[in-house]
Structure 1
Amino acid sequence: AAALTLNACSTGTDEQASPTTQTDENEMHSGHGEGEMKDGEMHAGMNLGDMKHPADGGPVPAGMTEATDPKYSVGNEVTLSTDHMEGMQGAKATIVGAYATYVYAIDYTPTTGGDPVRDHRWVVQEEIADAGSERLADGASVTVNADHVEGMDGGAATVSSSTDETVYVVDYEAGGMKMTNHKWVTESEIQPAA
């Protein structure tokens, strides 16, 4: 199966200088354009770095609670106002699901090696091992049970921030490639379709 390759699913907002062994996600997305796509990957994956991100994000974790009154309903056409991945900012998208849970930005070290990833957005409560039902504190050490990108599943992570905004799964197109069931986008990262 072809996969989308990227450094992370998020753009961090941390402006502090970081050690050279850490990779800030703002830096990770620079210089990666469509020209780096391999011919066979054009519609099933992009080459954006060392980690692979599937073109289809698959089902949500077991136990997710659907949002009771989300701002955007399943099937709504929206515009994305975030840049977790190259080409996402301003992309048209369709809401696939809306969920009520705690959502976390995390710092983690890929299990496949490589530099630590800072401020990856997002993982949900249901994707953290033994998270329980209470909101985790910033700085909490956790184990990630999500495979948004290669090397994430089973990785050690630290919570860098969290929100209880409604979180969405979306389908969207960027750079001529269709992403389905992309997880996750928070309500503040979505605007009504123009």
Structure 2
Amino acid sequence: MRKKMAMALFVLLAVFLVACGNKEKTNTNTNTNPDTNTDTNTMTEPNQNHNDVNNLTEGPNLPTGLKAATNPKYPVGTKVVLKAKHKPGMEGAEATVVAAYDTTAYAVTYKPASGQPEVKNHKWVIHEELKDVNKKPYAVGEEVVIETDHLEGMKGATAKIEEAKPTTVYMVDYKSTTGEEVKNHRWVTEDEISAK
């Protein structure tokens, strides 16, 4: 009797484990560094050339001096709809707010340090992701050095500020309209998302 019960329990446990295993998403990202974001999609913004450039957003490695938003319109955990067109499949995608920060967001034009073609009007790099950060936000037309690696070749690149916007920026997880799961996408601004 005990053997039959033990066998039945074993079979039940095996079936349960197999069923749970089939529900997990297979990670095709070959990057084994846990400190990097899983957002490895090619970034293509309107009027930009991001040929074969991977988004290397660094997930948990937030820049120093970044302050959590005190009263964000969309608190952490809020379900939202993306209006941004930073990447294919982003506009209209449902997302979850992972983090919210009060800062200045910049649209920048830069020549990647890796020698790739110039990237025009990249949205967004935030104030804390720039080298030798001033206390005051930079103005349109000023040159800065980027200290983050959202995209390959971005870190160390000299950039020109095209737009400066004091705002709340959001990190989001979303499923693109093309079916791709994206984690820790940086950054969308308050006017690029809406309530679900």
TM-score, normalized by length of structure 2?
0.76
Aligned to 2:154: 152
Equivalence map 1:1-194=2 (5 Å) = 1-2=30-31, 4-8=40-44, 10-11=45-46, 24-25=47-48, 28=49, 49-54=51-56, 57-59=58-60, 60-174=62-176, 175-193=178-196
Shift of 1:112: 1.2
Long gaps (5+) in structure 2: 1-29, 32-38
Distance 1:65 1:103 in 2: 13
More helix by proportion, 1 or 2? 2
Q: Which structure is richer in relative contact order (CA contacts within 8 A, separation 6 or more)? A: 1
Greater Rg, structure 1 or structure 2? 2
Distance in 1 separating the partners of 2:187 and 2:110: 17
List structure 1 runs of 4+ shifted beyond 6 angstroms: none
Task: Indicate if the aligned counterparts of 1:77 and 1:93 stay in contact, CA closer than 8 A.
Answer: yes
How far apart in 1 are the matches of 2:150 and 2:140?
A: 21
| Count of residues in Structure 1 that have an aligned counterpart in Structure 2 | 158
Cα 1:73–1:144 change in 2 (3 A) is same
TM-score, scaled relative to structure 1:
0.76
1:37 is matched with which residue?
none
Which one has a larger percent strand, Structure 1 or Structure 2?
1
8 A Cα contact 1:57 1:180, kept in partner: no
